[in-house]
């Protein structure tokens, strides 16, 4: 019986496999093998025994079914792995897990899993960056209404909007790069982190294990790797998913029937929008992104609470983390992939953007006219009050702002009709938007090419 939607509805196979039972066992065996080799390197056990342990530390010899069978009796997951491996190693089995505590294995294995997951998330971000870069470049001069408070503001370009998303993704790539060195760390320091059971060569053993596995070292551990590290990555991924929710929310708003400036792609032959309203074409992928992002954010609180454990550790974090890390990484990967799919096939309607702009009766250009009046010598406050009055009149009388301004003696006194026409042309009032798009896209492509 399947219970979790990750098992049958959400998430992609590559990321889910990273946190599967098989991969968890596989990585724990990698850690046990690295520990045996490190013990041999300092003379604590023979190289022959280390080689014997390492040769059996894989899923071909240590079966998941056997581990589960032992755990039913021992009621201890790591001890089940230790016994399953030991029984495969002959006389060398007596050296399996020597000096280690459970979380030396669990946390170090988890760091390996997270390192793989980091790679997948970073690849997702790069793919989404490339999609945004292409879209921003193509629509660098596609004029549309800029909105604040849900109201018409001043003109912008669709490419400039997307360039903002692109810069945000570049920051996440930077954040993940910085966080990786703090998050992907392991420990091999025993029961309360003092390394007493490893003897005089303890620090060398720990260093050798982490070097072999490509991980950083928790230098002053308790019995576990400190959970501020886990809280950091969960928080970053929650923030990342919230940014994707922001982009998806914009798609949903721009797809509203009265706006219709963009819309998700729709399979006209097969796709059904509603079980009853046959005309519907709903932004379901964007809504899915928004809903899943809320679930990811919900894992931030328990990841913070897991930082607060009794003394050198207790077990309250363990059960929570079995949910938190697989779900956060799997859903983050899913959200990024869906966001890329949405924008890769987004239907963009420049003609509808122009129509919406025209519906403002020219009032979207009020600021532009005000600035033009100031350039002609009128005081800024005087110009603002003058245009405010005409804008209110334009709205109440349903008359184009241009007609009111063109017939105004105050406007005529300082501005020609040609100058007024120019001041009310949206194409002349997008500022540095196209240039900024070009610069952002260039920066992004450098990052993408460097990672390819």
Taking a C-beta distance cutoff of 8 angstroms, is the pair 58, 85 a contact?
no
Q: Which residues are catalytic?
A: 149, 274
Both structure tokens of 394: 């334009």
Which region, left, alpha or beta, applies to residue 45 given φ > 0 means left and ψ of -120 to 50 means alpha? beta
- How remote is the C-alpha of 244 from its chain's centroid? 7
Q: What is the rounded CA–CA span in Å between residue 87 and residue 92?
A: 9
Q: CA 68, 4, 336: angle at the middle one, nearest 5?
A: 115
How do strand 185-186 and strand 151-157 relate by DSSP bridges? unpaired
Alpha-carbon distance of 396 to 134, in angstroms, equals 42
CA 416 to chain centre: 52
Q: Are 156 and 136 in contact (CB under 8 A)?
A: no
Which DSSP state fits 95? G
Tell which residue, 122, 134, 143, has the closest CA to residue 346.
134
Torsion of CA 366, 372, 375, 377, to 10 degrees: -70
Q: Which residues contact 403 (CB under 8 A, 6 or more apart)?
A: none
Residue 2 DSSP label: -
């Amino acid at each position: 019986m399947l219970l979790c939607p990750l098992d049958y509805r959400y998430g992609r196979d590559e990321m889910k496999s990273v946190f599967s039972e098989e991969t968890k066992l596989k990585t724990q065996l990698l850690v046990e093998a690295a520990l045996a080799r490190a013990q041999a390197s300092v003379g604590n056990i023979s190289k022959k025994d280390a080689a014997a342990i390492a040769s059996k530390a894989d899923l071909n010899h240590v079966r998941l079914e056997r581990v589960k069978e032992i755990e039913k009796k021992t009621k201890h997951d790591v001890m089940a792995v230790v016994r399953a491996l030991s029984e495969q190693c002959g006389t060398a089995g007596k050296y399996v897990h020597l000096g280690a505590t459970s979380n030396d294995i669990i946390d170090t294995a988890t760091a390996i899993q997270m390192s793989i997951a980091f790679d997948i998330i970073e690849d997702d971000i790069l793919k989404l960056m490339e999609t945004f870069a292409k879209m921003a470049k193509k629509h660098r001069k596609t004029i549309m209404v800029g909105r604040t408070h849900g109201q018409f503001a001043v003109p912008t370009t669709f490419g400039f909007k997307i360039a903002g998303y692109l810069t945000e993704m570049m920051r996440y790539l930077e954040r993940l790069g910085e966080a990786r060195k703090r998050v992907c760390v392991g420990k091999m320091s025993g029961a309360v982190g003092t390394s007493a059971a490893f003897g005089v060569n303890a620090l060398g053993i720990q260093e050798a294990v982490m070097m072999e596995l490509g991980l950083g070292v928790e230098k002053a551990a308790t019995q576990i790797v400190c959970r501020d590290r886990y809280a950091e990555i969960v928080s970053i991924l929650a923030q990342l998913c919230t940014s994707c929710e922001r982009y998806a929310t914009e798609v949903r708003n721009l797809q509203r029937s009265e706006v219709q400036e963009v819309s998700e792609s729709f399979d006209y032959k097969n796709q059904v929008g509603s079980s009853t309203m046959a005309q519907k074409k709903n932004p379901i992928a964007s809504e899915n992104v928004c809903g899943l992002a809320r679930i990811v954010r919900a894992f931030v609180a328990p990841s913070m609470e897991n930082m607060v454990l009794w003394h050198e550790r207790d077990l309250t974090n363990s059960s929570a983390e079995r949910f938190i890390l697989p779900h956060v990484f799997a859903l983050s990967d899913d959200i990024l992939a869906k966001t890329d799919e949405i924008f890769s096939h987004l239907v963009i309607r420049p003609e509808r953007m122009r129509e919406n702009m025209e519906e403002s009766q020219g009032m979207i250009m009020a600021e532009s006219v005000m600035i033009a009046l100031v350039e002609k010598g009128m005081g800024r406050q005087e110009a603002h009050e003058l245009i405010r009055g005409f804008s209110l009149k334009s709205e109440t009388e349903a008359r184009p702002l241009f007609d009111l301004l063109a017939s105004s003696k105050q406007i005529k006194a300082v501005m020609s009709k040609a100058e007024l026409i120019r001041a009310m042309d949206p194409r002349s009032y997008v500022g540095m938007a196209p240039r900024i798009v070009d610069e952002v896209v260039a920066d992004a492509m450098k990052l993408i090419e460097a990672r390819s």
